[in-house]
Amino acid sequence: MRIVAGSRKGHRIAAPKGVDTRPTSDRVREAVFSMLGTVEGAAVLDLFAGSGAMGLEALSRGAASCTFVERDRAAARVIGANLEKLRLTGAVVVNGDVARALRDERSRGRRFDLVLVDPPYDEWDAHARDLSELLPGLLADDALAVLETSDRVEPELPLDLVTMRRYGSARITVFSR
């Protein structure tokens, strides 16, 4: 995998070993960021971060900060290694449960301009309620939430639907506040 654009364009990034992590492909990342336009100066939250590819892409494209949340310890270490290798700053890696991390961020009064959500495809139903309850309160005015799910899932959140696109077995759904 490589960073698609920005200051680290073309740099390789590592993905966690094993089958538990499904990194977002270069093609899908490029399509998502084309839809989003500029992320310059954005505060980004990357949930179910895996390799961190989406958040790393945002930082490469000029995002001011990114909080990566990943429950798998090995995957969180890979994100840290990718950040170090790419010399990207403004990032925090949280190794823990997404719902707990969302509650912690909310209690700190944090707001994000862009939230990237990529749960394991077979776990959408297990996380939908927490995301519906907690995510809207973390979005800044005019913020976007980008969800990657299986193409068989039509995610719903108490936000405004902007667009939905399919890329192979992936569905990208963009919501706004």
Domains of the chain with bracketed CATH: 26-176 (3.40.50.150)
- Amino acid symbol at 163: T
pLDDT mean over 91-114: 96
Instruction: List Cα–Cα distances, 142 to 50, 110, 111, 156, in angstroms.
Output: 26, 15, 11, 18
| Polymer length of the chain | 177
pLDDT in tens, 52-80: 999 999 999 999 999 999 999 999 999 99
pLDDT mean over 142-169: 94
By C-alpha distance, which of 23, 1, 13, 111 is closest to 64? 111
Name the pTM for this structure.
0.93
By C-alpha distance, which of 74, 88, 5 is closest to 44? 88
First to last CA, the chain: 31
